[in-house]
Structure 1
Amino acid sequence: MAKGYWNISGAVTNPEGMGPYLQAVEPYLAKFNARFLCRDLKTDVREGDAGHLTVIIEFDSLASAKAAYDAPEYQEMRKFRQPHSKVSLSIIEEGDHAGH
């Protein structure tokens, strides 16, 4: 089964304010067997305006990645992050789905 991913990019605008979100999100994601593949606060952006933050989180499947995001518990947790960051979060599936 193909894995699912959260692909997050953007900027943290208030690092001190992110504490409650970070404390809550890591144990929450552990419930989904998710693992952080990349967490970078100093992303070397070569094109575009992605921001200095990049996070890639791997899930066992696309369905699991979607379920983790859509859960009411996570939707409440987002409120801790939103005032302190500007991010783009995409849910993607492993593999080449834009084949030529």
Structure 2
Amino acid sequence: MTAYALAHLHTPNLHEDVLVYLERIQATLDPFGGTFLAHGPDVEVREGEWPGTVVLLEFPDKDAVRAWYDSPAYQEILPLRTNHIAGSAILFDGVRPGHDPAKMAAAIRATQQG
């Protein structure tokens, strides 16, 4: 199942270290099949608050995204970003083919009625 890494970058700041991080990140993604789906776009907030911007990466599966994040190559460059940009990062699975939210609701209801 496809998996993702999402970073919510609260304080985008183009410090020299961040530019080096940007120059080096693709080489850390390639061995794990990681690709950018979104990288710092302007966001249109429709609900709540969303300071900053977003980065969304796609990987073949959860093992690949975990292996990338924990890899020595990525861990080496990570402080170049985190020392200058406040934010949060999460790793998560996508949905399986044929995902049906109505069936999901029914399954949740069934567990609540037990």
Segments ≥4 residues shifted beyond 6 Å: none
Deviates more, 1:36-45 or 1:85-94: 36-45
Distance 1:39 1:13 in 2: 12
Q: Higher strand proportion, which one?
A: 1
Structure 1, gaps ≥5 residues long: none
Residue equivalent to 2:4: 5
TM value normalised by structure 2: 0.74
State how 1:1-100 maps to structure 2 within 5 Å. Answer: 2-17=1-16, 18-95=18-95, 99-100=104-105
- Matches of 1:88 and 1:42 in 2, distance apart? 17
Match of 1:31, SS? helix
| Shift in CA distance, 12/23, structure 1 to aligned 2, threshold 3 Å | farther
Aligned residues: 98
Structure 2: tracts of 5 or more residues without a match:
106-114
Report the RMSD for the aligned CA atoms in angstroms: 1.9
Q: Deviations over 1:7-30 (max 9, x none)?
A: 111234421331011011112111
Question: TM-score scaled to structure 1, two decimals?
Answer: 0.83
